[in-house]
Structure 1
């Protein structure tokens, strides 16, 4: 094996780890901002300048998009290269969560980020998003909560699997583990509290309700283009997943046939032993 091929798995592992850390950082900052809903929506929007606005800069968007694509591609490559499906329960959870994340998250990304890129008048602040979740499309809210929690759990489990091999893990575990557990819990509580505030504002503030309705109308006018983009992304992901599964099945079938194919050595071992008892040398 050439040195380049020997180093390829290590390089892929590092890229996968780095891309996963970028995505986990992005989701953790979202959850931290959402947890501030325990205070108010205004607090969430003010903190958004520090927690989320930097991700809207084009260099950060390039890094984020690159990390998402790299992590997905390397995850599918790792799936297709497996030699067995004997996995621990943790590995099965990681695998299923990883495969479910793209279909869960694509609608949110397209509806908010792509819509903002297509029309600068579209203002997807926390008030609007929470109004959609709590009043106009509660089923969509459940889907997005599932998506965010899937990304977070997938990332935290992967991070722990990497950190547990480090000598410093026993020292940092008592600090990181409570924070990792508390963050999604506080985010869910903040989501619920902010949702109650949104419902009150929708009933009492006609100007704010009109702005939410205008945003919804604008989103509706972009619906056709957004659906086309979403369908294209899902089609590409579905094709890539199908290809990875086909390669996986081919690899497993080839390995199974190698194990069951009789070898020449095995055939010789099955021959009856020769009897030389009556043989005399001339």
Structure 2
């Protein structure tokens, strides 16, 4: 509702500005043509219902815009967002003199606001105000165009019409300023030729009186102070709110890479992440329209407030599965695990794509397998020979997974990622199958070395990392090419555990948690290692093994 009010009030004001600038362009011909055109353009807005609508739109739009600025928990904004905000805050300061000198004294003192009288003020009596008026044309128009751009850029038709609308956005103020300059030059010429007689003739025809002049002069100082205060007030209120928020302890957002971000009380997840310096896509500027800030919510999802009308409509439009929410709309009150689902440079077109993820949080065993010395293999063999060897390797690894209940989830160049347990709740069985799968891979590598002995410049070796934990498992990937895979901290940790096999010179690195949870006993003389893996703040405990544990034994 609030966003709609801000949008429609802005569109009302933009319509008035557009008509006003079109009227200015008539000044290219003469000031009289400007006055003649005004009967069909600007004077229409003096019809009481339209004038009330315009005034209400002005007040509502300014209040909602400043309220949004005040409520922001972070000012990490795009350049275009900063430009729109600064330009908007400058508008009251730039326009209040013009409003007083035209409509206010016209209503209060019966002074006519014909273009000739107004141009005489701006071009002859107060040229500084004439300069400010030209600047205000650019500021007001640019502010409105940026707002229109933010509104339309999530629309499917916008890319096709963007260039045409951009041309229109440049042409209108150019013609308006040209008409304003030409009409002002004509008034200056008439003043020089007609002298005092011309000037007093224009003033008398407009019924300019001393009371109106005194009112204008007396209003300048207090209104200047007030407009500057209005521009600075949102920043002051925001600073006070931030000071209060620092005293409170907000909830934490947990990211897949192990990083945690504190959410200021009342802030959206998008604001908290941006304030922490984490890039997040948000094409629509946080209005819940583009869905590019979509994220999957894990633990803590049940404590989130249900989607509001705007978020619900946006999620429905992309057929979002359970657990997907928009970072710009959720305001966590409790700790929440999140995983952004789009890159920071996602476009509006990306946001219109379906969710791309239909899954759930599950307890899985993740296995990363990497072929050692594949670079040396490429140096000593022809490309087609390397391709043949790699195809044989992947065929053997895939068969090892198939025979032990594993799932080939991801191809990683010279390795792969496998999942166990994504279709079962039996933890013991899942862990046992994962160990059997790793053992089968090692056996098949030995068999492949024997089979390809004449083709290989060196023995094939693999490194296997194994870990168990919760991950988001489901269909993900480009539209039409989705496959079952997984994301989350468990996956990242497993990949880093596999990398430890190189440093230890062993084929297996298995997390301590996998032995703690499963039925396979720890081998004798196994040494526990605990390190902070790359990209993680917390340490991870694991065992580096040079051979498989005895799978025939079971914990008692």
Q: Distance in 2 between matches of 1:109 and 1:20?
A: 18
Pair 1:193-2:182 in alignment: yes
Q: Distance in 1 between matches of 2:170 and 2:106?
A: 32
Q: Distance in 2 between matches of 1:217 and 1:54?
A: 22
Q: For 1:137, which of 108, 126, 137 is the aligned residue?
A: 126
Q: 1:52 and 1:185, CA in 2 relative to 1: closer, same or farther beyond 3 A?
A: same
Task: Answer yes or no: is the 8 Å Cα contact 1:23–1:67 preserved in 2.
Answer: yes
Q: Distance in 2 between matches of 1:128 and 1:151?
A: 23
Task: Answer yes or no: is the 8 Å Cα contact 1:34–1:191 preserved in 2.
Answer: yes
Q: Distance in 1 between matches of 2:230 and 2:141?
A: 23
| Secondary structure of the structure 1 residue equivalent to 2:208 | helix
Q: Distance in 1 between matches of 2:263 and 2:92?
A: 38
Q: 1:141 and 1:241, CA in 2 relative to 1: closer, same or farther beyond 3 A?
A: closer
Q: Distance in 2 between matches of 1:200 and 1:236?
A: 36
Task: Answer yes or no: is the 8 Å Cα contact 1:36–1:44 preserved in 2.
Answer: yes
Q: For 2:166, which of 163, 172, 177 is the aligned residue?
A: 177
Q: Deviations over 1:137-189 (max 9, x none)?
A: 11010111222221111001110111111111123323322111101111111
Pair 1:17-2:7 in alignment: yes
Structure 1 residues without counterparts, runs of 5 or longer: 1-10, 262-268, 271-282
Partner of 1:117: 107
Partner of 1:87: 77
Partner of 2:407: none
Q: Distance in 1 between matches of 2:263 and 2:56?
A: 43
C-alpha deviation, 1:242, in angstroms: 5.3
Q: 1:114 and 1:40, CA in 2 relative to 1: closer, same or farther beyond 3 A?
A: same
Q: 1:77 and 1:260, CA in 2 relative to 1: closer, same or farther beyond 3 A?
A: closer
Q: Distance in 1 between matches of 2:98 and 2:205?
A: 15
Partner of 2:152: 163
Higher helix share: 1
Pair 1:221-2:190 in alignment: no
Pair 1:248-2:211 in alignment: no
What TM-score comes out, normalization by structure 1 length? Answer: 0.80
Q: Distance in 1 between matches of 2:181 and 2:83?
A: 27
Structure 2 residues without counterparts, runs of 5 or longer: 250-261, 265-536, 539-556
Q: Distance in 2 between matches of 1:19 and 1:234?
A: 25
Q: For 1:48, which of 27, 31, 38 is the aligned residue?
A: 38
Partner of 2:191: 202
Q: 1:233 and 1:209, CA in 2 relative to 1: closer, same or farther beyond 3 A?
A: closer
Point out which structure has higher relative CO (alpha carbons under 8 A, 6+ apart): 1
Higher strand share: 2
Pair 1:212-2:197 in alignment: no
RMSD: 2.8
Q: For 1:66, which of 41, 52, 56 is the aligned residue?
A: 56
Partner of 1:36: 26
Q: Deviations over 1:94-140 (max 9, x none)?
A: 111111111111111111101000122x1121111112222111101
Task: State how many pairs are aligned.
Answer: 253
Q: 1:177 and 1:13, CA in 2 relative to 1: closer, same or farther beyond 3 A?
A: same
Q: 1:152 and 1:190, CA in 2 relative to 1: closer, same or farther beyond 3 A?
A: same
Q: Distance in 2 between matches of 1:106 and 1:166?
A: 35
Partner of 2:487: none
Task: Answer yes or no: is the 8 Å Cα contact 1:38–1:190 preserved in 2.
Answer: yes
C-alpha deviation, 1:212, in angstroms: 2.4
| Secondary structure of the structure 2 residue equivalent to 1:218 | coil
